[in-house]
Amino acid sequence: MSSPFNPYAPRDQSAVEVIAYVRRAIDEMTRSNPIQSAVVSSGLIKWIGNYTNSGNPDKINFLWIGEFLPGDPDMGGRPQRGFSLVRDDSRGGVSAIAMYDPTPDAANSGLRQVLIVTSGDTKRMFEESRDGGQRYPEESQWMGPIGDSAQIWPGTPNAGFSTLWEGRANIVGNKLRYRMFAYNDPGVSSESRMRVSLDSGDVSGTTHTLGVGAQTVFDSEVDVSAGRGTTVSFRWEARCTAGGGGANKARASVVSARCYTP
**What confidence tens digit (pLDDT) does each residue in 233-247 have?**
999 999 999 998 888
Residue 74 pLDDT > 80, yes or no? yes
The predicted model scores a pTM of: 0.66
pLDDT in tens, 82-105: 999 999 888 777 889 999 999 998
Q: Are 243 and 188 in contact (CB under 8 A)?
A: yes
Element housing 27 (H / E): helix 15-32
**Whole-number average pLDDT of the chain:** 85
Taking the chain, what is the end-to-end CA distance rounded to the nearest angstrom?
90
Top-level CATH class of 144-260? Answer: mainly beta
Residue 66 pLDDT > 70, yes or no? yes
Domain ranges, ordered by start, for the chain: 35-136, 144-260
How far, in Å, CA of 199 to CA of 230, rounded? 9
Residue 31 pLDDT > 60, yes or no? no
CA 98 to chain centroid: 12
pLDDT band at residue 19, thresholds of 50, 70 and 90? confident
State the pLDDT at residue 2. Answer: 53
Q: Which of 114, 228, 238 is nearest to 183 (CA)?
A: 238
pLDDT top residue among 142 and 59: 59
Q: Is 135 exposed, middle or buried (0-12, 13-18, 19+ CB in 10 A)?
A: middle
Beta strands in the chain (DSSP E): 38-41, 44-52, 59-72, 78-87, 94-100, 114-118, 124-128, 134-136, 144-145, 155-156, 162-170, 175-184, 189-198, 201-204, 208-210, 215-223, 231-242, 250-260
